[in-house]
A and B are shown apart, each in its own frame.
Chain A
Amino acid sequence: MKKFSDKIAIMLVCMILGLMLAAQFKNVQNVGGNVSLQRAQELTSQIQKLNQDIANQQNLIQELEDQLMEYEAAAQDAGKLNETMYRDLERARNLAGLTDLEGAGVVVTVNLVSYQEWGETGIIRNVYHEDLLMLVNELNAAGAEALAINDERIIASTEIRDAGDYIVINTNRYSAPFEIKALGNPDTLEASLMLLGGVADTLGEELEIKIRKENLIRIPKYSGSLQFDYAIPVQ
């Protein structure tokens, strides 16, 4: 028969097991189990992006503060000069896409076409970044004054590129549906897209393209920061 000390040993070890079980249980309750590797990688990349954003924003703040100080100094010098400078600045900001704009224009929506076959739903094809580039190109050619895709302002340095299942615009990820807003003469803009054999015609075979003329569209400003690290203006 078992010795008494053996029983005590089993009991002690079982106690430790219970302790471990309880500790692990509490831990899982707190954290929600193991974080998968993929999720961790996703979060890491998000943190990196946010850190970069913060650095950019801090630079921008510094820059604006410097500017403000310069202008204040100038304002003390001459009131008139200050006013012209301000107007120039506003104009430059409008052209660069750093202000919200509104006016007449067109809204182009690009969506997937789904079909049903043998009870299964599928799509003809995804929206590629080239499609958006073609549309933006065409709108620019037709004299669009301001453009935004899904409220991401298209400016000189805006990228529209593939990133797996997403399309990256201004470093933010988007997937279909896309809504392209363009300020400009609505008739000209629409006509440029609706040309026979034109962009809407070609893309319309595989995607759902809708063009809507509007009297008042609002286009948000570019939300990132702009700065040159290498380019220096030629005097």
Chain B
Amino acid sequence: MWLPLIGILIGIILGMTLPINIPTAYSSYMSIAVLAALDSVFGGIRASLDRKFESDVFISGFFGNAILAAGLAYIGDRLDVPIYLCAIFVFGYRLFNNFAQIRRHFLGLLRKKSYVQEKPDK
């Protein structure tokens, strides 16, 4: 459960300390890729809570989505079609959806616990 959080923390610290710089021109594509990656991670967390987690699906989704989103945004920019709007919409929507399911899962757990605690009193 804590591994993803630790991973993100390590990543952020690494990113802040290592001299990684994205050229300004590609900043907008990077932002789309970050959004896609965030969506994949939330999706992975949800799947693992549902006990349906498959690491190959997760990893291919993570990289595939990020690259596809950034690539489509790039092509859209070349063709003057704002495809990045579509990517933001789709991934944003899925992000919230995934989060809602995670929330439900934990709320369900809490409810079950209080139910178990109340039972012996009766």
* CB contact list, B20-55 vs A, under 8 A: 20-22, 24, 27-28, 30-31, 33-34, 37-38, 40-41, 44, 48, 53, 55
Q: Is the CB of B27 within 8 A of A34?
A: yes
Say yes or no: A13 contacts B62, CB within 8 Å: yes
Q: In the complex, A26 Cα to B66 Cα: how many Å?
A: 19
Q: Are A2 and B48 in contact (CB under 8 A)?
A: yes
Which B residues lie within 8 Å of A3 (CB)? 55
Main secondary structure of the interface of A (DSSP, over half): helix
- CB pair A11 B6 closer than 8 Å: yes
CB distance from A34 to the nearest CB of B (A): 6
Task: Give the chain A neighbours of B53 by CB distance below 8 A.
Answer: 2, 6
The verdict on A13 contacting B44 (CB below 8 Å), with A22-B14, A23-B15, A34-B27 known, is yes
Q: Does B109 contact A (CB under 8 A)?
A: no
User: Known contacts being A5-B55, A13-B41, A13-B59, is A23 close to B7, with CB within 8 Å?
Assistant: no
Given contact pairs A13-B44, A27-B30, A18 touches B7 in the complex (Cβ within 8 A): yes
Q: Are A17 and B27 in contact (CB under 8 A)?
A: no
Q: Which B residues are in CB contact (< 8 Å) with A23?
A: 15, 20-22, 30
By a beta-carbon cutoff of 8 Å, the part of chain A in contact with chain B is: 2-3, 5-28, 30-31, 34
CA distance A30 to B3 in the complex (A): 30
Taking A10-B48, A34-B28 as given, write out 5 further A-B residue pairs in contact, using a Cβ cutoff of 8 Å, ordered by the A residue number: A14-B41, A19-B11, A19-B15, A25-B15, A26-B15
For residue A13, which residue of chain B has the nearest CB? Answer: B62
Nearest chain B CB to A41 CB, angstrom units: 14
Measured CB to CB, the closest approach of chain A to B73, in angstroms, equals 12
Q: Which residue of B lies closest to A12 (CB)?
A: B7
8 contacts between A and B (CB under 8 A): A14-B5, A15-B11, A17-B62, A19-B12, A20-B66, A23-B20, A26-B20, A34-B28
